[in-house]
């Protein structure tokens, strides 16, 4: 307890936030008014932002971003598209995309629902922006196995962070590497009760938040060690342009014939296609080939990306691509 107030007192946080944001009092004035020091006011305001009590929403939407959203929804048969301005500095793109994706998921999740999660740096930023908003009895399930090398965006760390942000949601994770040595080992693991139970939960998930993996030298799959240099070379030779849901696709969005696709320890596609709302978040020039391939086959219901990437996606696919997405929707309904 400090100055007569409990550190975690929500009423105390709300009072300071109200005075600062609604009454437009300075931090010094608030400190004098409440009989505390200014640094304490600053600390409480930061806590209120971090725990979701205070959310800053910028209502001004750039007309160009809105136009891109509508065009992409039409071209790819998407339910929702969220486009953010492309940051001047590339390293800020993860935070920009992650913040928008986290907000979209937070606005659409409901209590007692299950959220499936991908991995990567953008995913790490996205789950860091999740807000619970009174949600209860939530479940988080990973869609990827683990990585031996600790790195930002590791599937395990992303899932743990998300569960913490969602009021300590129940967490289910895959107790195996992302890719195992042989298809036979993958099949043997998939027959175990723990895997069958987890994959069944994936099929019941109301929402999934995922990214896509490119095959450039900057690829997280390559840099993290999830994919070896030998596999990376053979994937390119086989015509792969990137990965979604752990499967490598060609430029038309078809799963390529490559041994790595049969060594992935995540859920099979029959489980994944039953997820009701798949949110795909990705941006940057290196992601364009796999984004175009994944969207053309209807792998996602919603897209979060940046203005520059969205403009190039439309330029490379100017006409609506309903056929593939509608076929996949029919397949999901069967």
What are the pLDDT digits (tens) for 305-334?
A: 999 999 999 987 655 443 344 434 434 444
Which of the four pLDDT bands, split at 50, 70 and 90, describes residue 201? confident
Alpha helices in 128-228 (DSSP H): 155-165, 183-190, 193-203, 220-223
Going from the N-terminus, what domains does the chain have, and what CATH number goes with each? 10-50 (1.10.10.60), 63-333 (3.40.50.1360)
Task: State the Cα–Cα distance between residues 87 and 95, nearest whole angstrom.
Answer: 10
Q: Is residue 148 exposed (0-12), middle (13-18) or buried (19+ Cβ within 10 Å)?
A: exposed
pLDDT of 191 > 60? The answer is: yes
What are the helix (H) ranges across 224-268? 229-237
CA 195, CA 31: separation in Å to the nearest integer?
54
Distance CA(241)–CA(13), nearest Å, equals 49
pLDDT tens digits along 215-232: 998 888 888 888 999 999
Backbone angles phi, psi at 171, to 5 degrees: -120, 130
Phi, then psi, of 333 in degrees rounded to 5: -75, -15
- Most confident residue range from 130-134, 252-256, 329-333: 252-256
How far the first Cα of the chain sits from its last, in Å, is 58
pLDDT digits (tens, 9 = 90+) for 19-76: 898 778 899 999 988 889 999 999 999 888 887 778 766 555 567 888 899 999 999 9
């Amino acid at each position: 307890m400090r100055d007569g107030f409990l550190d975690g007192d929500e009423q105390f946080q709300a009072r300071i936030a109200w005075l600062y944001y609604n009454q437009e009092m300075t931090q010094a004035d608030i400190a004098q008014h409440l009989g505390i020091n200014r640094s304490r006011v600053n600390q409480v305001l930061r806590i209120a932002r971090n725990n979701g009590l205070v959310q800053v929403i910028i209502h001004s939407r750039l007309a160009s971003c809105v136009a891109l959203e509508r065009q992409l929804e039409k071209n790819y048969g998407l339910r929702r598209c969220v486009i953010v301005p492309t940051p001047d500095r590339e390293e800020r793109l993860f935070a920009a995309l992650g913040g928008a994706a986290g907000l979209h998921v937070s606005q659409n999740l409901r209590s007692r629902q299950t959220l499936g999660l991908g991995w990567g740096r953008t995913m790490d930023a996205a789950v860091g922006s999740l807000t619970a908003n009174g949600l209860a009895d939530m479940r988080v399930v990973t869609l990827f196995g683990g990585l031996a090398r600790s790195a930002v965006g590791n599937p395990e760390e992303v899932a743990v962070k998300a569960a913490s942000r969602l009021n300590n949601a129940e967490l289910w994770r895959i107790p195996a590497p992302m890719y195992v040595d042989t298809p036979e080992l993958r099949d043997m693991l998939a027959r175990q009760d723990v895997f069958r139970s987890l994959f069944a939960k994936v099929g019941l998930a109301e929402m999934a938040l995922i990214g896509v993996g490119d095959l450039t030298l900057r690829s997280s799959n390559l840099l993290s060690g999830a994919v070896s240099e030998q596999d990376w070379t053979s994937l390119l030779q086989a015509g792969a342009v990137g990965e979604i849901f752990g499967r490598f696709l060609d430029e038309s969005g078809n799963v390529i014939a490559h041994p790595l696709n049969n060594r992935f320890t995540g859920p099979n596609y029959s489980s994944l296609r039953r997820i009701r709302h798949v949110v795909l978040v990705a941006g940057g020039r290196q992601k364009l080939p796999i984004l175009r391939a994944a969207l053309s086959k209807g792998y996602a219901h919603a897209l979060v990306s940046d203005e520059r990437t969205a403009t190039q996606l439309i330029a490379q696919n100017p006409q609506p691509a309903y056929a593939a997405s509608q076929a996949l929707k029919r397949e999901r309904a069967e």
